Structure 1
Amino acid sequence: MDSTISMKNDNYNCDKILLNEEFSEPVKKTIHEIITREKYIHYNVTVRKITTGGNNFLGELYDIDISGQTSETNKENQIFLKRIIRNDDFRIYSIPEVYKKEAFYYNELSKIFNDLQDNVNIPAEDRFKMVKSYEETNDEVIILENLTKKNFKTMPRMDVMSVEFAKLSIEQLAKFHGLSFVLQKMKPEYFETKIKTIKQSMVYDDYWNEFVTKMCELSVSKCDYVTKEKISKFFEYSLDKYPKYMNGLHSKIKCLCHGDYKMNNILFKEEDGKITEAIPIDFQQIYFGCPVIDLIYFIYAASDRDFRKQHLYHLKDLYYETLTRFLNYFAIDVSTVCPRDEFEECFKHSLDYALMYTLYMLQMFFITDDIPDLSKDELLEMKIQVDDRFYDRMQGIVDEFIDLGVL
């Protein structure tokens, strides 16, 4: 259940805001700052703590509604807030580091992206879409416009995506990557110092190897003996290759990557039963690397084998066509940043990344009971129960890579 906290102030004095004791000081301070900057005189604030059922592990999430009066008018601010959790024992990457990345994206990079699109007059319907952020966003608290109030939502994390959702999401991904290529061409010094220096967050050490070994054992637990033997050989090989994929060492094509472009990190809107808009969110895992990895991750994490048989290569082509068309707005020839032959070769030879990710991480999308609390739980000790749909999804990927000769 979401928890709700309300507060009122009829004599504008933010220092006297009183909230439930369980509400954190940083969040109180942030609400205070927004109320002050928005010049409320009389106001009511309602705060709801959100439970996501496994969609988010690294933050406390809140809906915050501020409504009231300024000296000039009635006013309302509808806010989504994500606050950092603290766990110094979380060792596969630094939680403070990924919050810094997202704060950089919303406070700085998103504004540059908007300016770039404004400068060439990209029509609203063809732009890379971004959620409005508040200037109070910082390394500990991400504050955004709450688009759920405008009927945006996320896909259930265990579903197979629809073709319509896939197309809109991949078009947005191509435009995100496209803006990185634009930065490279138009702001080379900024690109060199601010984009190329963004490293992949994961730490590939003995702890990582132990963690993914445990996850792989869960993945293959219902496979037959022959399949387990094939996967065991592939897994040993993958431990060396996976970090190369994630650091872009396998590809000449490089740009800013999203790093976690999955179905429930994309807001979408429906009208009359048709998906009309998609907006990417959650930029905590951005890094400079190979854009093909973002594309493969998105498709395989949100599809089953039947879907991929029908749509995989069409969606791959849609990505490239969108990238080409988007770069044309900036008078950039796609062949100068992402040649088609290199893109196709990279896609073909990077597909086994999908199998690696399935063995390592896909289980987290299918967790059922006892959602891990990463502010407390130690990764190597947590027990994971997954929905049976995971095993069906994984078997489809295994069968696919047997047919491809990878297993």
Structure 2
Amino acid sequence: MEGKQSCECSVNNYQRTKIVISEEFTYDLQNSINKIIIEQGYGTYEIDAGKVFTGGNNFLGELYEINVTGYNSEGHKETSLFLKHIIYNDDFRVYSIPEVYAREAFVYKELSKIYDELQVKAKIPLGERFKMVKSYNETNSKVIILDNLTKKGYKTMPRLDVMSVEFAELSIKQLAKFHALSFVLQNRNPEYFETKIKTIKQSFVFDDYWNELAKKMCDTSTARMDDATKDKIAKFFPISLEKYPKYMNGLHSKIKCLVHGDYKMNNVLLKEINGRVSEVIPIDYQQIYYGCPVIDLIYFIYAASDRNFRKQHLLYLRDVYFKTLTSFLNYFDIDSLFSSEDFEKCFKDSLDYALMYTLYMLPMFLIKEDVPDLAKDNLLEMTIKIDERFYDRMQGIVDEFIELGIL
């Protein structure tokens, strides 16, 4: 197994630096890669390994590309792997890093197979199915090992951009199918659902540390706003601290299923044909939990849109979600579980969640590329530099909720 040091080179939306596997990886991780090579039937082969730097897309894992080229009994063969390896940080107190890795391993190793079987049995056309990246059996609670789809033309949207409506529409359709499969699983195998899905609680710990972190991020979000607006947000902030955990635990809604928990633009891979988005595949299931699907939808829209985008497309995308959910459930002969009126009411009643989480988290989504090292840093002590586009986007969100009478 060989690798040579080289300078960084651009690969889609990230930087890649060659590494030596025997020096970079633990023995267990080297063993996992060797097992994959054996399973793929390689006789002779070469390995090119690189560490990936996403410029702010990932904080809680070390990312790698492993490209294997060689020969097996059938001739020339290539295998490209994408690895996300756990980091440990005792100062990271907002949730358990090992726990969220275990959740993602569960999705790729167990739940993905169940969802695939459900869709096959329902004879859903390939083009209409919920899509997932292929994972390898060596995936575990310390490392997620996936098919490297960048080699097949997939990439992520530039994380600082406002998303296109075609990307939003395709992504929301996939989200609706992900939620629908949870409802199907509950219908087809209620015992499994009760023990393996409903027991998955959201991962954040809402304690004094969280409150202090939320205040720090809220101050960052409002730093350039006028005093009158800051006063409005100051009055709203304690209300948000009380209400936000209820949203995250699904206590506000009777509509519940397995939700993604971190469905934002750079957690969706896309493929383009002639400059237009033709396909999307959701990724990154570390934050799954049993909760309200409307929260996933609101989270996605507000994380990657500006006020003008929402004025034009918010209600349309809401309706795309509901229509997709309903039509996808029809493949399984399941009638709509709730009316469009109930869904719209839940959406309207939950909308202030968007204001809460963007005040808390949007600065981290629009951080500049010199990101903090969360393997070392305490969140309360870190200094972040935010892209200038953040301030207009956050102001647009605040103005929107002032008009709605929430602020």
TM-score range, shorter chain: over 0.9
Q: Which runs of 5+ in 2 are unaligned?
A: 1-7, 9-15
Q: Distance in 2 between matches of 1:292 and 1:341?
A: 13
Q: Distance in 2 between matches of 1:200 and 1:170?
A: 21
TM-score, with normalisation over the residues of structure 2?
A: 0.95
Q: Give the Å deviation of 1:72.
A: 3.6
Q: Give the Å deviation of 1:20.
A: 4.7
Counterparts of residues 184-195 of structure 1 (less than 5 Å): 184-195=186-197
Counterparts of residues 82-121 of structure 1 (less than 5 Å): 82-121=84-123
In structure 2, what residue type is equivalent to 1:178? A
Q: Which runs of 5+ in 1 are unaligned?
A: 7-18
In structure 2, what residue type is equivalent to 1:89? D
Counterparts of residues 201-240 of structure 1 (less than 5 Å): 201-240=203-242
Q: Distance in 1 between matches of 2:196 and 2:260?
A: 15
In structure 1, what residue type is equivalent to 2:319? D
3-state SS of paired residue (2:24): coil
Q: Do the aligned partners of 2:22 and 2:30 also contact (CA within 8 Å) in 1?
A: no
Q: Distance in 1 between matches of 2:123 and 2:275?
A: 30
1:198 is the counterpart of 2:205: no
Q: Give the Å deviation of 1:369.
A: 4.8
Alignment correspondent of 2:151: 149
1:133-176 deviations in whole A, cap 9, x for unaligned?
11110000100101111110001111000010000000000000
Cα RMSD (Å) of the superposition? 1.0
Q: Give the Å deviation of 1:232.
A: 0.6
1:366 is the counterpart of 2:366: yes
In structure 1, what residue type is equivalent to 2:346? C
Alignment correspondent of 1:395: 395
Q: Give the Å deviation of 1:39.
A: 2.2
1:338 is the counterpart of 2:338: yes
Q: Give the Å deviation of 1:25.
A: 3.0
Q: Distance in 2 between matches of 1:22 and 1:161?
A: 36
Q: Give the Å deviation of 1:21.
A: 2.1
Alignment correspondent of 1:3: 17
Kindly tell me the number of residue pairs found equivalent between the two proteins.
Answer: 393
1:168-222 deviations in whole A, cap 9, x for unaligned?
0000000000000000111111111111001100000000001111001101110
Q: Give the Å deviation of 1:372.
A: 1.0
Q: Do the aligned partners of 2:55 and 2:370 also contact (CA within 8 Å) in 1?
A: no
In structure 2, what residue type is equivalent to 1:229? D
1:295 is the counterpart of 2:300: no
In structure 1, what residue type is equivalent to 2:177? K
Q: Give the Å deviation of 1:34.
A: 0.9
In structure 1, what residue type is equivalent to 2:327? R
TM-score, with normalisation over the residues of structure 1?
A: 0.95
In structure 2, what residue type is equivalent to 1:120? A
Alignment correspondent of 2:313: 311
Moved over 4 A (4+): none
Q: Give the Å deviation of 1:67.
A: 1.3
In structure 2, what residue type is equivalent to 1:272? N
Alignment correspondent of 1:353: 353
1:226-261 deviations in whole A, cap 9, x for unaligned?
000000111110001000000000000000000000
Q: Do the aligned partners of 2:56 and 2:369 also contact (CA within 8 Å) in 1?
A: no
Q: Do the aligned partners of 2:326 and 2:335 also contact (CA within 8 Å) in 1?
A: yes
Counterparts of residues 135-284 of structure 1 (less than 5 Å): 135-284=137-286
